[in-house]
Amino acid sequence: MSEIAKIVGKRIRNNRTKLGLSQEELAEFAGCHPTYIGQLERGEKNATIETIEKISKSLDVPLSKLFEKLGGSKEERDMALECYEFISAKSKEEQEQIYRILMEMDKYKGN
């Protein structure tokens, strides 16, 4: 599948897990099949814009946020956004640990 489908799928998964929703719950809210939600999250399927809109409403996330900064070249990547997406996919405990590591690293950046 396309890189865009993978990124949008990852964003759907990240937002779903932040809300503590299962794929089944999101599917019910969005009027989709749970298997389909899983396929979207893995970037295996391309959804219609109408389906993505239903999912974004179910997640209470603006549609634009799911498509933010897509399609740029590798040189134009927003590293902060990539870091955010990486960290937001982790558990709360893992996020806290990553944050502590970053804060420690920041103390020594000038040395």
Distance CA 111, CA 4 (A): 39
Here the tokens at position 103 are 């804060």
Q: What is the largest CA-CA distance in the chain?
A: 54
Q: Does 64 have pLDDT greater than 80?
A: yes
Domains in the chain with CATH codes = 3-70 (1.10.260.40), 78-111 (no CATH)
Cα–Cα distance, 98 to 53 (Å, whole number): 32
Q: Write down the pLDDT at residue 47.
A: 92
The per-residue pLDDT for range 11-46, each reduced to its tens digit, is 999 899 889 999 999 999 999 999 999 999 999 999
Token duo for residue 12: 């759907």
Predicted structure pTM score: 0.73
Answer for the pair 12, 89: CB distance below 8 angstroms, yes or no: no
Q: Which two tokens stand for residue 108?
A: 């020594």
* pLDDT for 37: 97
Alpha carbons 23 and 74: distance in angstroms, whole number? 31
Closest by alpha carbon to 47, among 12, 78, 17, 15? Answer: 12
82-102 pLDDT per residue, tens: 788 788 778 888 999 999 999
Instruction: Specify the pLDDT at position 16.
Output: 93
